[in-house]
Amino acid sequence: MSKNLRINKNNFIDQTTRISFKFNGQKLFGYKGDTLASALLANNIHLVGRSFKYHRPRGIMTCGSEEPNAIVQIGNDPSFTDPNVRATEIELYEGLDASSQNCWPSVNFDIGGINNFLSPLLPAGFYYKTFMWPASFWEKYEYFIRHSAGLGKSPTKSDPDIYDHQYSHCDVLVVGGGISGIISAKLSAEKGLDTILIDDKSFLGGSTIFQENECYKINSVNSNKWLANEIESLKNYPNLLIKNRTSLAAFHGYNYLLARENLTDHLSINERKGKVRQRLWKIRAKKVIIASGSIERPLIFSNNDRPGIILSSSIKKYIDYYGVKTGENISLFTNNDTAYETAISLYKSGVKVNVIVDIRKNSDSLIVKEALDLGLKVLWESTVVDTQGYKRIKSFEVMKLSDDGNNVVGDRSKYNCDCLGISGGWTPMVHLFTQSGGKLKFRNDDNVFIPDENKTPSNQISVGSCNGEFKLNEIVVNTIENLKSFLSLSNSCYDGIKIICPDEKSKRNIWLLPSDKPIGKTKPFLDFQNDSTAKDVKLALREGFKSIEHVKRYTTTGMGTDQGKLSNMHALGIIADTTGTNMGELGTTTFRPPYTPLTFGAIVGRNVGEFFDHTRKTAIHNWHVKNKAEFENVGQWKRPWYFPKNGENMHQAVQRESKAARDSAGILDASTLGKIDIQGTDASEFLNRIYTNTWSKLEIGKCRYGLMLNEDGMVYDDGVTTRLGENHYIMTTTTGGAANVLSKLEDYLQTEWPELDVYLTTVTDQYSTISICGPNSKKILAKIVPGLDLSDNNFPHMSFKNTKISNVNCRIMRISFTGEHSYEINIQSNYAEDVWIKCMEAGKEFNLTPYGTETMHLLRAEKGFIITGQDTDGTLTPSDLQMDWIIGKKKFDFIGKRSLYRSDTIREDRKQLVGLLTEDPKEVLEEGAQLVENINKKPIEMLGHVTSSYFSPNLNKSIALAVVKSGKKLKGKKLIVPMENKNINVTITDTVFYDKENKRLNA
Amino acid sequence: MFIINCPYCGERDQTEFSCGGEAHIERPKQPTELSDDQWAEYLFMRKNIKGVQFERWNHAHGCRKWFNMVRDTSNDKIQAVYKMGEKPPVK
Ligand SMILES: [Zn+2]
């Protein structure tokens, strides 16, 4: 088993630097420059995982991001472990510890492999068909499915790595560092354009950089040498930024692209410390050049998924780039010329290909001639019909194709092998092009979807093989010519370039290769990761699925983490063949971002923990912290919730606070309320139009409560607005509604009533608000502002005074949200904590008690005052809230007025706000609990729900607000609140529980 | 994510803006004279078409100005932006 399949080759791999790593616990060695896949192959390890559904042994199949099988779990640290990593992409580093996924107990002995033998019972749509009934069994099925499905394991602890986001703006972004990308980057940089070149590999040059074949020459030198010089020359351009290990994730409209740069995944664990792991680039490019290349297609025949079956071009890369033989007895199976390049590369590295099976009748291209001259054996017009070997391919069987290619003829002949290279032609990587909104066209000639130049979004171009150009001369010449017009170049440094390359003329394509066995007895895999076969696709068609999108979902073809990069074209081809449709008419499935999976870390970047969202703190926040407040999040604000003393719980603290506020005095930081400064000659008219009540007659120095509706008549926000001057008001909004109210007001001002002379300025942060309430509030205020006449005559309820506290200007409003005699001091925020402390000192002798939002809510509920957003939910009119008194019926118009007498809003059986008292005064209802009348008549009719509920220490009983159908008419009615373990009896009451006559306001 | 040419600030990223729905729906001058159906037409009915659409946009994280935009919803191409009160420059 443990063999060294490395040949001595130092071009790209540093064979002087040995790296040790572990795979499934086994200690192995590779070299610097290896990927995990190349290092495993050098150790003769092909079997790396099990397939998703049948748990079939699977091996490394490719050498890039299209890899469907070789996905591994990296590490086992609960924070750092990384699932679903493609072995073909991860670079080897000292100490790398990888293990197989989707197998238990081990990749060599996997219990789930039994599914393979049950596969006749697991056809396409098996899960849909089997687990849908009976519905009550779902929970049992789910357990089974979750334990047998799934790929890697997620980390169980939070990710300690650092991730970054970076914005970038450039003239030209080149995606892909193969030969066409290099030419593009140089042309752009040469023109002086600010250029970024990104490539997902650690090296530039794509597949040309290791193309040593003498058949390919540019300006008389081998194409790989020519390209190496070009790459070297890129260093001379300071306006060119090259980003290796950077994979383009998404191409959005207006040339907005996301790319993920891997910064540390190739370093040893020690070298990573303190470094950013991945950076998400958010690039806005004036022009985008897509040079994303193409990937090789597999061939579809029975048992084409065994470990040791590898794409032919990948075998070539493993030998030419990594110096790794993928086997010692290799054969190839092809429908085109490129497999012959692989054969020649292997031959030159001392591996003689046993046999090349070619479905074509012949080929007279240079490259084939060269292979034949080397004495390689070709079986023309033949196909592989089956393979053998469980954990590694052992042999394959070949038959002659019939003339039309629909059948096989003659006898099977068997060939031994330990590796079979397959080459089904090339698929341009058009994912990014389609993501950006481009439309594809089908080229019948060689069965490829390529960008339609007439349906390409502006300011982008596809060049090279992703544009369907596969011959070196076409790639280079067309890239240069197309870029000259795309970048408006009159000439280029490449003018007069001379290219020699072989020409492939012979073409043959068979999507599903024929077999001597009926399809039911074969296993021709299409999607290797999701285990869907050509059989499944045909079954889906028989069952009536027609749309490619439906077939895809039903069979799960193309739905793995590789998004069907290898499988899509064959699935389409088989559908087209079976249904007799042209592939161009069939179209493709939609390619969605990301092109390759992104980590959550890269997506969120630094926006984690305390940076996840803004935190707003009032100017008095530090005092609250010092005084042990428990905080509540209200939008982005941190508000004191309650101030526990001596180990009190919330209930105890709230009972104490609310008792103190009514018995003597309480103090609240109300700074988070929204404050909007309104000025202009039409300010009064403006308020008339946005509030339901009348404002033009409000005297200067007076305050008024206002209710704001949406145009649909539903309550939107509320608060007190004060008239500071003839043309000057200050409006308060709810804490949560501040920003929305401002933008709504701006909207009406700018779009509906531009004739009004009104200016709005938010001053929420500029002013802090300290609210002091309770029977002793007047005495406390008198100590702070001794010069101010606080008599009811001079300073009545709902009025305001300009005054000074210690030479600092402030506005004091006498308004109340608790029903107590109370004042709100508005002061510039930088003095707020100081004034708060002064209040506390002045209030000491009156037991002035700081309280938080919970007590505030309780106190206002005792008075039946609503909280918009808690007692309302956007479906209640003022009338539903029993607030008809606030509607200015004589007003010509205000926002929402017309909606108040729509047929729906005047219904009498709407849900309306009521009070609730429980039969047992100690029983506190749960907010959100449902209200019903009759629990015996089923289905039980829901009449409404509880919106606010508290135990009132001042009334010594439980109180609640609720919305109930026809609630206004139901005063005194008994209803039931059904809870999980009991039914609670309640009675509908008035919404005001405390001080119905409002005597305390002037107490 | 598109780039929007705010008529007051110039080109800015879409993240700075918020969309306010269909444009050129004027609030009725005398809502009280409308029938329920007419009022509902103003209140609720909005077009949502694939193709050229007239929209209101607000430079919410910028100058806070409202303006109008002509956008092809099928490809997000912005054909024109113009200030409130101005006539649409394209049909
Ligand atoms: Zn602007």
Give the pLDDT confidence of A21-31 residue by residue, as tens digits. Answer: 999 999 999 99
Is the C-alpha dihedral spanning A733, A735, A741, A743 positive or negative? Answer: positive
Mean pLDDT, residues A182-207 taken together: 97
Instruction: Fill in the DSSP letter of residue A624.
Output: H
Helix axes A338-348, A366-373, angle to 10 degrees: 40
Nearest CB among A254, A752, A899 relative to B43 is that of: A899
Q: Which residue, chain included where needed, has tokens 């068609």?
A: A541
Q: Is B3 on the interface with A (CB under 8 A)?
A: yes
> Cα dihedral angle (A446, A447, A452, A457), rounded to 10 degrees?
-120
Nearest Cα of chain B lies from the Cα of A902 at a distance, in angstroms, of 6
Whether residue A631 is contained in a domain is answered as: no
> Cα dihedral angle (A471, A433, A310, A3), rounded to 10 degrees?
100
Q: How far is CA A219 from CA A185, A208, A310, A481, A501, in A?
A: 19, 15, 33, 17, 12
Q: Give the whole-angstrom CA distance, residue A767 versus residue A465.
A: 63
A547, A488: one domain:
no
Strand-strand pairing, A942-952 and A930-932: antiparallel
Contact in structure between A864 and A991 (CB atoms under 8 Å): yes
> Which residues in chain B have their CB less than 8 angstroms from residue A712's CB?
43
E strands in A734-784 = 759-762, 767-773
Q: Is A254 on the interface with B (CB under 8 A)?
A: yes
Q: How close is the Cα of B21 to the center of ligand 1, in Å? A: 18
- B34/A746 CB distance under 8 A: no
Give the pLDDT confidence of A536-583 residue by residue, as tens digits. Answer: 899 899 998 888 888 888 888 887 777 788 888 999 999 999 999 898
Q: Select from A898, A899, A905 the residue whose CB has the most chain B CBs within 10 Å, as the one to mutate to test that interface.
A: A898
Burial class (CB in 10 A: 0-12, 13-18, 19+), A484: middle
- In total, the C-beta contacts within 8 angstroms joining chain A to chain B are 55
pLDDT surpasses 80 at B90:
no
A152, A170: one domain:
no
Nearest CA in chain B to A285: B3
Burial class (CB in 10 A: 0-12, 13-18, 19+), A15: middle
pLDDT surpasses 60 at A138:
no
Give the pLDDT confidence of A724-739 residue by residue, as tens digits. Answer: 999 999 999 999 999 9
Per-residue three-class SS string for A216-283:
CEECCEEHHHHHHHHHHHHHHCCCEEEECCEEEEEEECCCEEEEEEECCCCCCHHHHCCCEEEEEEEE
Nearest CB among A252, A256, A898 relative to B39 is that of: A898
> Which residues in chain A have their CB less than 8 angstroms from residue B13's CB?
284
Nearest CA in chain A to B74: A437
Contact in structure between A545 and A575 (CB atoms under 8 Å): no
H-type alpha helices, A613-737: 621-626, 650-663, 683-690
Whether residue B79 is contained in a domain is answered as: yes
- Nearest 5°: phi and psi at B29? -70, -35
Whether residue B17 is contained in a domain is answered as: yes
- A903/B64 CB distance under 8 A: no
A981, A881: one domain:
yes
Whether residue B48 is contained in a domain is answered as: yes
- A254/B64 CB distance under 8 A: no
Q: Give the whole-angstrom CA distance, residue A645 versus residue A653.
A: 7
Instruction: Fill in the DSSP letter of residue A940.
Output: P
CA–chain centroid gap for A33, Å, is 32
Q: Which residue, chain included where needed, has tokens 């707020």?
A: A832
Total length of chain A? 1003
**Res A1: pLDDT:** 47
* Sheet (strand A378-380) strand order: A309-311, A419-423, A330-334, A356-358, A378-380
Q: How far is CA A948 from CA A316, A550, A870, A877, in A?
A: 72, 48, 7, 18
**Res A153: pLDDT:** 84
> Which residues in chain B have their CB less than 8 angstroms from residue A284's CB?
3, 13
> Which residues in chain A have their CB less than 8 angstroms from residue B75's CB?
253, 437, 457
Contact in structure between A69 and A58 (CB atoms under 8 Å): yes
Q: Select from A690, A692, A750 the residue whose CB has the most chain B CBs within 10 Å, as the one to mutate to test that interface.
A: A750
Nearest CA in chain B to A169: B13
Residues forming a β-bridge with A641: none
Which residues of chain B from 53 to 82 reach within 8 Å of chain A, CB to CB?
56, 58, 60, 64-66, 75-76
Q: Is A553 on the interface with B (CB under 8 A)?
A: no
Give the pLDDT confidence of A357-375 residue by residue, as tens digits. Answer: 999 999 999 999 999 999 9
Q: Give the whole-angstrom CA distance, residue B87 versus residue A334.
A: 64
> Which residues in chain B have their CB less than 8 angstroms from residue A897's CB?
31-32
H-type alpha helices, A873-913: none
pLDDT surpasses 90 at A356:
yes
Q: Give the whole-angstrom CA distance, residue A985 versus residue A974.
A: 7
User: What CATH code is carried by the domain that includes residue A478?
Assistant: 3.50.50.60
- A747/B20 CB distance under 8 A: yes
> Which residues in chain A have their CB less than 8 angstroms from residue B43's CB?
711-712, 899
Mean pLDDT, residues A676-704 taken together: 96
CA–chain centroid gap for A380, Å, is 50
Nearest Cα of chain A lies from the Cα of B77 at a distance, in angstroms, of 9
Whether residue A524 is contained in a domain is answered as: yes
Whether residue A661 is contained in a domain is answered as: no
Whether residue A733 is contained in a domain is answered as: yes
Q: Is A902 on the interface with B (CB under 8 A)?
A: yes
Token readout for A294 is 């193409």
Domain containing A947: what range?
A: 865-1002
> Cα dihedral angle (A186, A188, A192, A194), rounded to 10 degrees?
-110
Contact in structure between A146 and A158 (CB atoms under 8 Å): no
pLDDT surpasses 80 at A963:
yes
User: What CATH code is carried by the domain that includes residue B49?
Assistant: 3.30.2270.10
**Res A105: pLDDT:** 57
Nearest CA in chain A to B3: A254
Mean pLDDT, residues A970-975 taken together: 96
Q: Is A747 on the interface with B (CB under 8 A)?
A: yes
Whether residue B89 is contained in a domain is answered as: no
Whether residue B36 is contained in a domain is answered as: no
User: What CATH code is carried by the domain that includes residue A534?
Assistant: 1.10.10.1100
Which stretch of A579-588, A624-633, B61-70 has the lowest confidence by average pLDDT?
A: A579-588
Whether residue A978 is contained in a domain is answered as: yes
- B66/A747 CB distance under 8 A: yes
Whether residue A317 is contained in a domain is answered as: no
A832, A703: one domain:
yes
Q: Select from B58, B63, B69, B73 the residue whose CB has the most chain A CBs within 10 Å, as the one to mutate to test that interface.
A: B58
The total domain count for chain B is 1
Q: Give the whole-angstrom CA distance, residue B7 versus residue A780.
A: 54
pLDDT surpasses 60 at A270:
yes
Nearest CA in chain A to B75: A437
- B34/A437 CB distance under 8 A: no
A6, A141: one domain:
yes
Token readout for B43 is 């209140």
Please state, rounded to an integer, the average pLDDT across all residues of chain A: 93
pLDDT surpasses 70 at A144:
no
Q: Is B34 on the interface with A (CB under 8 A)?
A: yes
- What Rg do the C-alpha atoms of chain B give, in angstroms? 14
Nearest CA in chain B to A435: B75
Whether residue B15 is contained in a domain is answered as: yes
Q: How close is the Cα of A616 to the center of ligand 1, in Å? A: 26
User: What CATH code is carried by the domain that includes residue A910?
Assistant: 3.30.1360.120
- A902/B60 CB distance under 8 A: no
**Res A21: pLDDT:** 97
A75, A211: one domain:
no
Domain containing B62: what range?
A: 3-27+41-83
Q: Is A761 on the interface with B (CB under 8 A)?
A: no
Nearest CA in chain B to A903: B36
**Res A357: pLDDT:** 98
pTM of the model as a whole = 0.88
The total domain count for chain A is 5
Whether residue B33 is contained in a domain is answered as: no
pLDDT surpasses 50 at A191:
yes
Q: Which residue, chain included where needed, has tokens 């099977």?
A: A412
Token readout for A889 is 């019926």
Which stretch of A76-80, A338-342, A911-915 has the lowest confidence by average pLDDT?
A: A76-80
Mean pLDDT, residues A128-134 taken together: 56
- B32/A254 CB distance under 8 A: no
Q: How close is the Cα of A650 to the center of ligand 1, in Å? A: 47
Nearest CB among A437, A754, A893 relative to B84 is that of: A754
Could you tell me the pLDDT band of residue A505, with boundaries at 50, 70 and 90?
confident
Give the pLDDT confidence of A396-429 residue by residue, as tens digits. Answer: 999 999 999 999 999 999 999 999 999 999 999 9
pLDDT surpasses 60 at A147:
no
Q: How close is the Cα of A941 to the center of ligand 1, in Å? A: 51
For chain A, give the percent of residues with pLDDT over 90: 82
Strand-strand pairing, A71-74 and A97-100: antiparallel
Strand-strand pairing, A666-669 and A849-850: parallel
A891, A983: one domain:
yes
**Res A70: pLDDT:** 92
Per-residue three-class SS string for A29-74:
EEEECCEHHHHHHHCCCCEEEECCCCCCEEECCCCCCCCCCCEEEE
Closest C-alpha to A690, from A898, A894, A897, A896 = A894
* Sheet (strand A499-500) strand order: A221-222, A217-218, A499-500
Could you tell me the pLDDT band of residue A127, with boundaries at 50, 70 and 90?
low
What SS3 class is residue A728?
strand
Whether residue A604 is contained in a domain is answered as: no
Which of A841, A859, A877 is the C-terminal boundary of a domain?
A859
**Res A10: pLDDT:** 75
Q: Is A892 on the interface with B (CB under 8 A)?
A: yes
Whether residue B63 is contained in a domain is answered as: yes
Confirm whether the ipTM is greater than 0.90: yes
Q: How close is the Cα of A762 to the center of ligand 1, in Å? A: 18
Q: Give the whole-angstrom CA distance, residue A671 versus residue A829.
A: 9
- B1/A754 CB distance under 8 A: no
Mean pLDDT, residues A847-851 taken together: 98
**Res A568: pLDDT:** 87
